Amino acid sequence: MVNNNAFVFRPPLMYYSHMKAFKNSLQKGSVRYVVFKEKDTFFAVALEFNVVVEGASQIEAIVLLNEAIAGYLGSARKFKLRPHVLNQAVDSEYEKMWQDAQKNDVKRSTTRSTKSPYVLSSGQFNLAFA
């Protein structure tokens, strides 16, 4: 006779099966970034971390983003957080900016966009160096 109401322990297979799907871990990975100007303010965004900083210049925004990424990654390592904090869903507005910037890098247009916001740079940071 089988007891259908008996509790059956099942290990959390979902967690282990999704571990391979994460691009970033506490040890390695990369984060995409985009730097853009809106009116007189420069913004830099780490896409997979959902970190946004602002600066008075493009260089200041990039430096502040590097510091924010290092702090974010340092905290994640210190508290041994799960990888999902390093692989967050990207805001669609920033994703579109990054995709468009990558397409434009291939074309390398000689004219600069004057509409606001416009992307000044984009790429990837290697997390091994953060």
Mind listing the pLDDT tens digit for each residue in 20-45?
578 999 999 999 999 999 999 999 99
Say how far residue 10 (Cα) sits from the centre of its chain.
33
Is 24 among the domain residues? no
In this predicted model, what pLDDT tens digit does every residue of 47-101 receive, in sequence order? 999 999 999 999 999 999 999 999 999 999 999 999 999 999 999 999 999 999 9
Domain that holds residue 79: 29-129
Rounded to whole angstroms, the Cα distance separating 97 from 103 reads 10
Closest-CA residue to 126 (of 29, 58, 48, 38): 29
Is the pLDDT at 16 greater than 80? The verdict is: no
Query: For the whole model, what pTM was predicted?
Result: 0.77
Find out whether 55 and 40 touch, Cβ atoms under 8 Å: no
Is 19 among the domain residues? no
What is the number of domains present in the chain?
1
Rounded to whole angstroms, the Cα distance separating 86 from 88 reads 6
Q: Where residue 118 falls among pLDDT bands split at 50, 70, 90?
A: confident
Is 10 among the domain residues? no
Is 113 among the domain residues? yes
Rounded to whole angstroms, the Cα distance separating 125 from 98 reads 13
Is 12 among the domain residues? no
N-to-C CA span, the chain? 59
Is 98 among the domain residues? yes
